[in-house]
């Protein structure tokens, strides 16, 4: 029986996300509020020490004035799709970034984790892993059976993040959208509800206190704990310093 033929008995549409705060060990996810989070996000995204490449592949930005940034942020916070969260440090209260649920389709149990904008202070840290973990966990708890991740095929950092978080590569949509006047091919990744329990245990093991020493250094890398990621993607190898994917050559037989 193929995957598309599998019955889904007693299927019920998933629930819409709500404004509850999602609590973690390192960070908490608060529903985005432009007035409450705006100053912190401006500092994280465009303040001293911010990531100069942050906006390269994003749909908007950078902003040349704080006023334009806040106009955009207010509009972004008012939408229900995407449904955006601010990432807040549990210990310091510093606001490090945003991420969102988007392309929300409760009827079919499909939702995307996107609009990921992490400031330099949280990139490739336990905070970024936990933020994604919290939102993925919430998606499954709301009844979604498919969690998606998409990115510009040129965005190597986003590809690597998807694999590190345990998403499975699927395909590339060519000429899918136009962003900042450029045609963009989009790569798609996913996690299904059936795959989540294994990934959940792996991410919880990585985020646990036992995996960090007294200095806060990790004992094992996230990709080591759920090592299936690299193995599953060996047929679609990323070329880190080029434009996209390198596909295995296949001899055509006529």
Percentage with pLDDT > 70 across the chain: 82
The closest alpha carbon to 84, from 158, 151, 135, 159, belongs to 135
| pLDDT of the residue at 212 | 77
Reported as a pLDDT band with limits 50, 70 and 90, residue 226 is: low
pLDDT of res. 96: 97
pLDDT score at 7: 87
21-44: per-residue pLDDT in tens? 999 999 999 999 999 999 999 999
Closest CA to 96 of 137, 50, 63: 50
Strands 110-118 and 146-152, sheet pairing: parallel
Express each pLDDT in 142-157 by its tens digit. 999 999 999 999 999 9
- Give pLDDT, residue 200: 94
CA-to-CA distance for 81 and 127, rounded, in angstroms? 24
Residues 6+ apart with CB under 8 A from 192: 145, 146, 147
pTM: 0.86
Q: CA-to-CA distance for 253 and 120, rounded, in angstroms?
A: 49
Mean pLDDT of the chain: 87
* Closest C-alpha among 57, 60, 131, 62 to residue 95: 131
Who has greater pLDDT, 99 or 4? 99
């Amino acid at each position: 029986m193929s995957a598309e033929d599998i019955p889904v008995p007693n299927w019920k549409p998933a629930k819409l996300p709500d404004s509850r705060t999602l609590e973690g060990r390192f960070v908490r996810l608060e529903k985005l509020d432009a007035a409450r989070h705006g100053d912190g996000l401006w500092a994280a995204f465009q303040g001293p020490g911010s990531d100069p490449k942050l906006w390269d592949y994003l749909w908007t930005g950078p902003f040349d004035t704080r006023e334009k940034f806040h106009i955009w942020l207010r509009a972004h916070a008012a939408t229900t799709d995407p449904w955006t969260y601010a990432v807040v440090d549990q210990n310091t209260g510093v606001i490090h970034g945003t991420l969102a649920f988007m392309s929300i389709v409760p009827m079919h149990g499909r939702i995307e984790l996107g609009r990921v904008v992490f400031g330099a202070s949280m990139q490739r840290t336990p905070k970024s892993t936990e933020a994604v973990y919290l939102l993925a966990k919430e998606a499954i708890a709301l009844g979604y059976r498919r969690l998606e991740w998409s990115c510009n095929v040129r965005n190597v950092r986003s590809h690597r993040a998807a694999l590190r978080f345990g998403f499975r590569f699927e395909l590339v949509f060519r000429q899918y959208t136009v962003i900042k006047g450029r045609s963009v091919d989009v790569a798609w990744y996913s996690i299904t509800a059936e795959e989540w329990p294994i990934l959940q245990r792996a991410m919880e093991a990585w985020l646990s206190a036992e995996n960090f020493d007294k200095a806060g250094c990790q004992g094992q890398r996230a990709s080591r704990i759920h090592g299936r990621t690299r193995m599953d993607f060996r047929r679609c190898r990323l070329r880190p310093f080029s434009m996209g994917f390198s596909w295995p050559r296949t001899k055509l037989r006529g």
